[in-house]
Structure 1
């Protein structure tokens, strides 16, 4: 691009003012997870204040990757590593998706149980078969396309699994309802758990050991990355700069998610409250980012949010 070639001669913010007209619509994938509801909506509010027209589309994880490969989705804020990097390796290998930021560190993602189940002896993936009858041979997962490590584990009869084990696929909300119902009755249940999430604050849970083959070491210790579709950084450098800056932390996400899940706030209201409480985040998120028409981005967003 001619603009890019001359970027070195321009002020930093001007270099990002060259988004193509089609960049005005920014299409984000929503998996129905509360963490992505918070992060997507945060991005949506900021992009709207910058003059863009962002939208979220509810998609399964596998459809998200297909949609990015097909050019139907621009941005995905939920690339949990390492598990997705393994399951969706071909999309990274052929350049269909491009990582632009690690938006969260210190996450975890593996099987979990209520504390009373852990205290009863189910402490490891290798203990599952021992308590198969108490668990009704069921492992509770979330949306289809997200549970592949568990489905593969059951099919391979890993960890000594025997009999007709079932991975129950539903949604984050449905799974948590099932867990809460079981916990109230002190019934045994094993489910897919992760951090950040209010489940770590509002329930007594413990994570199972020895799931390294399925979810990686350190109890599925994970980072979360932001992906954009192939060609997007060149076409939309200003939006890409914003998403490269958009980095959260565990406390921020736990607090914002708790507003949604426990306090009953809409994602938009929670996202606005969090940004108003942490204006310093905006300074970092909007560094060298401008509005769609080339004006200073930080000032526009703070004005929209009523932040001095």
Structure 2
């Protein structure tokens, strides 16, 4: 009898160990995320929220400015942020990385870009680089159209320093949607406009546009060639290893993000609707995202999440 009891005990140990290997603290049940109001981050955050809900977690996102997002990660008011665009943000928020005020989990997107752009007819007229802008100041009205305040700092610094001959220009700050509406109006009238562009985004499908060279100092080389990274508050992976494992696995492609963002911007889908459509169209993503990830109760997540989301 004693041998049978010991055998049962030792047989059960690996299973117990598997169940608790990534066990999360009770505080991990609710996850606080930051959303900048950018469609790409709204989409990826919605994907995370949808999958985590199927895992019996709850994620809530707050609309914050970029500077507030970094401060909130540092202070522990936000758990996760899926929108660390590099190299631009790592220059602007260098001290947060140097002083370990945020933790870096993974690259969630490769092949992105982020720099100034113009309509194709403006490029055809001779505007190919940052250096060309000043020659046509009157046509542009000495204005560069950006997005949310707190996001355009490389452009504001560029103007303040007079780089590329752009001293005295104005950076018009608004929002992603307002900027794109301004671009559309200009394109419809064949007016000249220079604006902050990026990929992934449906603007690359909906607009005939060209990115400007020469912005290496502001946005990095290769036309602002970028990667997007996932950040957490300090120590989050230790406190919430299962959720952190999920976020580490959560990687996207430019093409899939373009599809999801187009559904949101052009077809009126909510973030949740676009996220659910992406998951159902590319169910193989779940195999990667949930590798080694458990439900809140510690049981394997993959089969249960597929049952919930692919029905």
Q: TM-score, normalised by structure 2?
A: 0.94
Alignment pair present for 1:70 and 2:107: no
C-alpha distance in 2, partners of 1:71/1:50? 23
What are the Cα deviations for residues 160-196 of structure 1, in whole angstroms up to 9, with x where unaligned? 224x310011110000000001000000000000000
C-alpha distance in 1, partners of 2:164/2:229? 30
C-alpha distance in 1, partners of 2:21/2:202? 37
Match of 2:138, SS state, is coil
Match of 1:51, SS state, is coil
- Give the match for residue 3 of structure 1: none
Q: Relative to structure 2, which stretch is displaced further, 101-110 or 294-303? A: 294-303
Task: Tell me: CA distance 1:303–1:156, structure 2 relative to 1, closer, same or farther (3 Å).
Answer: same
Q: Relative to structure 2, which stretch is displaced further, 102-111 or 15-24? A: 15-24
What are the Cα deviations for residues 246-290 of structure 1, in whole angstroms up to 9, with x where unaligned? 000110101111111111111111110110010000000000000
What are the Cα deviations for residues 10-49 of structure 1, in whole angstroms up to 9, with x where unaligned? 6885354410011011001000000011100000011111
C-alpha distance in 1, partners of 2:281/2:17? 28
- Give the match for residue 36 of structure 1: 41
- Give the match for residue 118 of structure 2: 113
- Give the match for residue 282 of structure 2: 278
Mapping of residues 47-58 of structure 1, within 5 Å: 47-58=52-63
Deviation at 1:198, TM superposition (A): 0.2
What are the Cα deviations for residues 100-158 of structure 1, in whole angstroms up to 9, with x where unaligned? 11000000000000001111111110011111111011000011111111000000000
C-alpha distance in 2, partners of 1:45/1:253? 16
Whether the 8 Å CA contact 2:120–2:209 is kept in 1: the answer is yes
- Size of the aligned set, in residue pairs, is 299
Match of 2:140, SS state, is coil
- Give the match for residue 233 of structure 2: 229
Query: Which structure's CA Rg is the greater one?
Result: 2
Match of 2:84, SS state, is strand
C-alpha distance in 2, partners of 1:257/1:16? 36
C-alpha distance in 2, partners of 1:302/1:12? 24
Q: 1:156 aligns with which of 155, 161, 167?
A: 161
Task: Tell me: CA distance 1:194–1:11, structure 2 relative to 1, closer, same or farther (3 Å).
Answer: farther
Whether the 8 Å CA contact 2:20–2:298 is kept in 1: the answer is no
Runs of 4+ in structure 1 over 2 Å off:
8-17
What are the Cα deviations for residues 218-272 of structure 1, in whole angstroms up to 9, with x where unaligned? 0000000000110100000000000000000110101111111111111111110
C-alpha distance in 2, partners of 1:129/1:300? 58
What are the Cα deviations for residues 51-101 of structure 1, in whole angstroms up to 9, with x where unaligned? 111100000000000000110000000000011111101111121111111
**Unaligned runs of at least 5 residues, structure 2:** 1-12
Whether the 8 Å CA contact 1:17–1:293 is kept in 2: the answer is no
Q: Relative to structure 2, which stretch is displaced further, 240-249 or 259-268? A: 259-268
Task: Tell me: CA distance 1:16–1:135, structure 2 relative to 1, closer, same or farther (3 Å).
Answer: farther
C-alpha distance in 1, partners of 2:160/2:15? 57
CA RMSD of aligned residues (A): 1.4
Mapping of residues 185-196 of structure 1, within 5 Å: 185-196=189-200
